[in-house]
Each structure stands twice: as structure tokens, then as C-alpha cells.
Amino acid sequence: MELHNTFQPGVAHGAASNGFTVYCRYGLPHLVCLCVNRPDDPFLNLPIDYFKSLDGYFAEQFFINLHPVLNSSNVLSHIYQYATQTSSIINDLSYDEIAQELAKLVCTNKLQVIPLNE
């Protein structure tokens, strides 16, 4: 019997959409999730705190510079829809504006970016 891995990067995991796995510009996996949906795993790393400094500048750079091959092209819009629970405003925002909005959500502790070590 052969095991098939159905994991796809950038796709919501679980029935309750507990977050997204994205890859930074260096190809390292990170979990982006709402604080209330943080997995209850004692071995999970802590969220990256320095993303909150400078009004979310580092978080914005993280979202703008995601790995272009390992992530789907519309992963930011999926994360934005997941974080805000809306889809109507997404058509009015550019890629950079979505990254800015996600950085604001990281600054206000609504959204977390957690490095995943494999």
C-alpha cells in the first residue's frame, strides 16, 4: 500500500480552515493563521514578534516577497479572505495593498505568522 500526500501549499487545512502554509522567499514553510485558530501543539514555534515592529514593515515585506514558485499566485487574496471573512473588497485591492492590510492584521495580533520546522 502506498501513502499519498494530499498536502498542497497555500490551501486551507482542516474543515475549519485553520490557516495557510506559505513559503517565504527562502523556501521555508510558515503557518499563517488567526490567533483563535492557532493549533494546540506544544511543539509549534512561537509567532514571529518582530513582524509587529515599525508598523508591520517586516510583515509587509514577508508577504510581498513570498516564494513565487512554491506559493500559488493568489495566496495573499486567500489569506485576506480567511482573515477578514469577506470577499467583496478583494477586487478593489492590489497585491501590495493586500500585503499592507495583512501586515496591519499582524500588528493588531489578529493574524500570526509561525515558522514551521520540518
Tens-digit pLDDT string for the chain (118 aa): 333 333 444 444 443 467 888 998 888 898 888 888 787 777 777 777 777 778 778 888 889 999 888 888 888 888 888 888 876 666 777 888 888 888 999 898 889 888 887 6
The answer to whether position 28 is within a domain reads yes
> Total domain count for the chain?
1
The answer to whether position 77 is within a domain reads yes
The answer to whether position 14 is within a domain reads no
The answer to whether position 110 is within a domain reads yes
- The C-alpha atoms of residue 31 and residue 110 are separated, in whole angstroms, by 14
Domain that holds residue 83: 20-115
The answer to whether position 86 is within a domain reads yes
Question: What are the angstrom distances between the C-alpha of 73 and each of 64, 68, 78?
Answer: 12, 7, 10
Backbone Cα Rg of the chain? 14
Burial environment of residue 61 by CB neighbours within 10 A (0 to 12, 13 to 18, 19 or more):
middle
The answer to whether position 62 is within a domain reads yes
What is the reported pTM? 0.75
Beta strand extents in 9-95 (DSSP E only) = 20-23, 29-34
Would you state the cell numbers that stand for residue 50, as one nine-digit string?
518582530
